[in-house]
Structure 1
């Protein structure tokens, strides 16, 4: 594992986890045979986090009766808890997809959402997406996974890409003409997932332009001043939902490079150094400040504790980077 020494104790700790994480550790760090990690992956739908979340699905295919927000969320502003609720349909499906649940387990969910789910914005139909780039990125990836018709969204991303190559959720309201780190990464992750699942490369050129937006900024800095774009860059948290960080960005670039069979871009080096610097003396990465908002249940540890998820993501990125870096 490159610069890392004896990984056996760390692997034992990481493998002692929910099936949603364990199968990825087996595949990407432990080099287990496909039959082993595929067997573990099949358990995600029947055990632990995956089973608990699937059990919350409504009869109409939604979670908590809403597309992006729970039903009735806007009816009583004074009763809202702090933060964005992470319990509605889009967030629940995003988790299940990223945990590796087989789409077949969801049955006719795509059709049920097509019939019953509408966006809180302008009552638009679910699989057509809406105007927010992050929402559309989650929907593009999830639609590809569930076999929905997301052709409108495939066209939407290149059409709404800004002149600098990025995306920004504020652009749709005319409040910005510049890309956002958060919005751009979410767009890239959605387009990459679409290509991974569907095999359709029609968004690759647009994705490459968006990746160049981040690469020219070395994943962390303002192009205008060279200053760190914000403290969120080194705030690692799982689940990160929509929030940008150097670790989340590197995880995307790793996955994109693996798909395309290319080496890491040297401009990722600063972000890699940030990930290395965040490692604690015990060899783990600790949970940052979780995003506020209602959840179905806790997925990872509380703030300040060693996080299996973050440690896995960081080790996977460093393993990929060092495999080329050390051999060079």
Structure 2
């Protein structure tokens, strides 16, 4: 069996992603499959998933909506619209100020921007979020949740995790038609992208060592956490040209396909509604890896999709 055929045997969400992005043909999941499964847990009266808009992880509205956004749930679905607006209003209050001089974690700000932008939601708070993001970019190009930490805890360097979340948020902001300070946003993402590329997507700029081993491992869903495959998928989405500093990470993608597919990866501990993968084989990660290869290593992509005889059972 070819890998594409195996993907097309998966949930209708995987069929949708595979057909649209790998085969470049139209396909609509009609909010069925995994999306319908998540909708079954939606509390229409409270307009949310779980008991809080951000916690418990990973069953809150924020993390459920991030999954539904990746699965390309209809952005105008009432559940997506209402739950996202509630996340925005609950999490972004008083211009992001939480208490005692502290602000909402910047990685969460990036997530909220991503969710709101995908929903095409028009609210003055969106402009406040853009102002906040632009005001607190670090001198090295990225962002860090600890920019406002008291005393010696304040960070003056960026975080892989936070920078990734903000980049994803502003990518959606641009993609879905927002215009407030857009020219400045476009200028600011260049040094933020460079922050990741200078580090070859997972290395310390100072020592050259791998920052964390998990940065070299596929995870789906990624939650708030960074890995180099999430970064590569971001670069694919924004149609970034190939950069030789991606090469180490691309080699990891190719290595991940040694069995003809990518494993589902290590999952982050926490509450979930249901497992997305029933075995060690990961259709989501395989789709993601193929999408990366299609953009940045077309020869390997073609070889992967043409190979036959692999047993996916």
* Residue equivalent to 2:229: 247
* Residue equivalent to 1:212: 194
1:198: Cα distance to partner?
2.3
Distance 1:254 1:24 in 2: 14
Contact 1:118 1:124 in 2 (8 A): yes
* Residue equivalent to 1:290: 267
Contact 1:66 1:89 in 2 (8 A): yes
Q: CA RMSD in A?
A: 2.6
1:274: Cα distance to partner?
1.7
1:141 to 96, 99, 114: 114
* Residue equivalent to 1:309: 284
1:252: Cα distance to partner?
0.5
- Can you give the 5+ residue segments of structure 2 that lack an aligned partner in the other structure? 302-313
For structure 1, which segment, 315-324 or 285-294, has the greater mean C-alpha deviation from structure 2 after superposition?
A: 315-324
Contact 1:118 1:126 in 2 (8 A): no
Distance 1:301 1:291 in 2: 16
Superposition map of 1:21-100 within 5 A: 21-32=14-25, 34=26, 37=27, 40-41=28-29, 43=30, 45=31, 47-58=32-43, 59-70=45-56, 85-100=57-72
- Can you give the 5+ residue segments of structure 1 that lack an aligned partner in the other structure? 1-7, 71-84
Deviations 1:193-219 (A, max 9, x none): 121122533422222221010111111
Contact 2:65 2:84 in 1 (8 A): no
Superposition map of 1:181-200 within 5 A: 181-200=160-179
* Residue equivalent to 1:263: 241
The TM-score, its normalising length taken from structure 2, stands at 0.83
1:278 aligns with 2:263: no
1:320 to 295, 307, 311: 295
- Seen in structure 2, the aligned counterparts of structure 1 residues 16 and 127 have a Cα distance that, compared at 3 Å, is farther
Superposition map of 1:106-185 within 5 A: 106=78, 109=82, 113=86, 118-119=90-91, 124=93, 131-146=104-119, 147-149=121-123, 150-174=126-150, 175=153, 176-185=155-164
1:87: Cα distance to partner?
0.7
- Higher-RCO chain (CA-CA 8 Å, sequence separation at least 6): 2
- Seen in structure 2, the aligned counterparts of structure 1 residues 125 and 110 have a Cα distance that, compared at 3 Å, is farther
- The secondary structure found in structure 2 opposite 1:284 is coil
* Residue equivalent to 2:306: none
1:172: Cα distance to partner?
2.5
- Seen in structure 2, the aligned counterparts of structure 1 residues 292 and 144 have a Cα distance that, compared at 3 Å, is same
Contact 1:167 1:183 in 2 (8 A): yes
